[in-house]
Amino acid sequence: MSSTANETPSKRYFSNEIFESPLELVPNSKRGKHTEDFDILSSISDDSFNEINSVEARSFRDDVQSISSGSAEHLADDGDITQSIHLIGDTISCLQDDAVLLNETVANLDKKLREQQKQIEFLHKLVSQSIEMNRALQSRNEMLEDELNTAKAESYSSSSCLSCDGTYLWKITDFTQKLADAISEKQTSIYSPPFYSSPNGYKMCMRLYLQGDGQARRTHLSVFFVLLRGENDAVLPWPFDHRVIFCLFDQSPAKRHIIDSFRPDIKSNSFQRPRSAMNIASGIPRFFPLNVIQQSNNPYVRDDCMFIRCLVDFDSMPKQHVNTICTYNLALPTTRRNKEMEELINKANSKEKEDEKSEEEKTINSEELSIKSNC
């Protein structure tokens, strides 16, 4: 009895002083889904608590507190996890939206890249076609230039009296303008009107580079001989193998004419039968220094005109007669001039023979004298 009496106050102390119900240990805001567990605890009557000894009550209280605190911590952790899960879900959703946008951007860029590659291929084809067209145009321009030069030569022949004796005196007018065109490379060369070796003979012309050609460019006047396609080429002997003589006239009283000549290289295409409108020009690149021609008071250009004569030597005349023949009185008719030149050549040849005979006689006399003196 005594023990029972002693235990009763402690039970009252436990029930009255410690807590009325286990729910007091857990706030209502943190009960959550564990509310049913706390309701079971709250259904325990005060009498039942009174029957629990103080030690068991304390132990039970500690257990309840531990469960309550653990549940509260568990509830707090669940809230953080839920919030993190929501945040991760939102991030994943944003990343998915960004991935879709990135895929669309990549697809657009790929489409543009393919279009640009097509444009590059198209431009490459255009460039290739342009290069081919330029080459074709350049070749065509060269052909047109040759045809134009031939047409010019033919136009000269229709407007002027053709020479048919293998010589031609070329008057070059507007020399200053032609020289300026050559310096600016607007027109580097000019052609003379055509002339013939005979009425049925070779057709030919001169070509003049006022600023020089090849290695003589900008240093010398270059003059060339050109064989043209003629009407009677089929019955003429080929290759052309006659010496060609050029004469630049000194228009002053001094008459210091510039005369030079060359013999054809019969292996060159320049002197074969022409297969096109004209053969390649051949002649004397370093004919006369430009620094003399470009002087304002030079005797070779007067009244803005220059005279060059071409002569084809069919008779293989001696060099000492070339100067006389080239500069012989051009005012005379061709027949008379040729006759007088022939007489002049014959006289010169006779004089040479006489001189040779005289030298031989002198030699013989000197030998006879030396023999007599030795005897």
CA 48: distance to chain centroid? 111
Same-domain check for residues 188 and 305: yes
For the cut 80, the answer to whether the pLDDT of residue 372 exceeds it is: no
Q: Omega into 239 within 30° of 0, i.e. cis?
A: yes
The answer to whether residue 297 is domain-embedded is yes
Nearest of 330, 338, 332 to residue 169 by alpha carbon:
330
Q: Which of 290, 314, 338 is the last residue of a domain?
A: 314
Q: Which of 66-70, 127-131, 246-250, 339-343 has the least mean pLDDT? A: 66-70
Nearest of 195, 194, 196, 192 to residue 170 by alpha carbon:
192
Contacts of 39 (CB under 8 A, 6+ apart): none
Are 246 and 287 in contact, with CB atoms under 8 Å apart?
yes
pLDDT band at 96 (very low <50, low <70, confident <90, very high): confident
Same-domain check for residues 228 and 190: yes
Q: Domain residues for 283?
A: 162-314
Arithmetic mean of pLDDT over the chain: 78
Are 306 and 172 in contact, with CB atoms under 8 Å apart?
yes
Mean pLDDT (whole number) for 241-261? 94
Same-domain check for residues 151 and 166: no
As a whole number of angstroms, the distance between CA 206 and CA 224 comes to 6
As a whole number of angstroms, the distance between CA 26 and CA 230 comes to 130
Helix, strand, or coil (residue 169): strand
DSSP run (H or E) holding 249: none
Which pLDDT score is estimated for 15? 40
For the cut 90, the answer to whether the pLDDT of residue 273 exceeds it is: yes
The answer to whether residue 260 is domain-embedded is yes
Are 254 and 272 in contact, with CB atoms under 8 Å apart?
no
Count of structural domains within the chain: 3
Alpha helices in the chain (DSSP H): 2-12, 35-42, 46-50, 54-159, 175-183, 290-293, 319-326, 334-374
Same-domain check for residues 289 and 231: yes
Q: What is the pLDDT of residues 114-145, one digit of tens each?
A: 999 999 999 999 998 889 888 888 888 877 87
As a whole number of angstroms, the distance between CA 290 and CA 364 comes to 52
As a whole number of angstroms, the distance between CA 366 and CA 310 comes to 47
First-to-last CA distance in the chain?
207
Q: Which of 63-67, 125-129, 169-173 has the least mean pLDDT? A: 63-67
Same-domain check for residues 155 and 287: no
For the cut 60, the answer to whether the pLDDT of residue 10 exceeds it is: no
Same-domain check for residues 13 and 35: yes
In degrees and rounded to multiples of 5, residue 146 shows phi and psi of -60, -45
Distances (CA, A) of 178 to 103, 173, 188, 208, 298: 71, 8, 9, 11, 17
Nearest of 209, 222, 230 to residue 164 by alpha carbon:
230
Same-domain check for residues 174 and 303: yes
Which pLDDT score is estimated for 176? 93
Which pLDDT score is estimated for 263? 94
The answer to whether residue 24 is domain-embedded is yes
- pTM for this model (two decimals): 0.54
Which pLDDT score is estimated for 221? 96
The answer to whether residue 8 is domain-embedded is yes
Q: Which of 292, 314, 336 is the last residue of a domain?
A: 314
As a whole number of angstroms, the distance between CA 155 and CA 146 comes to 14
The answer to whether residue 369 is domain-embedded is no
The answer to whether residue 155 is domain-embedded is yes
Same-domain check for residues 147 and 285: no
Which pLDDT score is estimated for 202? 96
Same-domain check for residues 120 and 257: no
Same-domain check for residues 155 and 277: no
Tally of CB atoms within 10 A around 239: 15
Are 208 and 172 in contact, with CB atoms under 8 Å apart?
yes
Same-domain check for residues 29 and 171: no
205: region left, alpha or beta (phi > 0 left; psi from -120 to 50 alpha): beta
- β-sheet bridge partners, residue 289: 220
Which CATH number fits the domain that encloses residue 222?
A: 2.60.210.10
Q: What is the pLDDT of residues 281-335, one digit of tens each?
A: 999 999 999 999 988 889 999 999 999 999 998 877 766 666 666 666 666 676 7
Same-domain check for residues 119 and 180: no
Distances (CA, A) of 192 to 25, 157, 163: 130, 10, 12
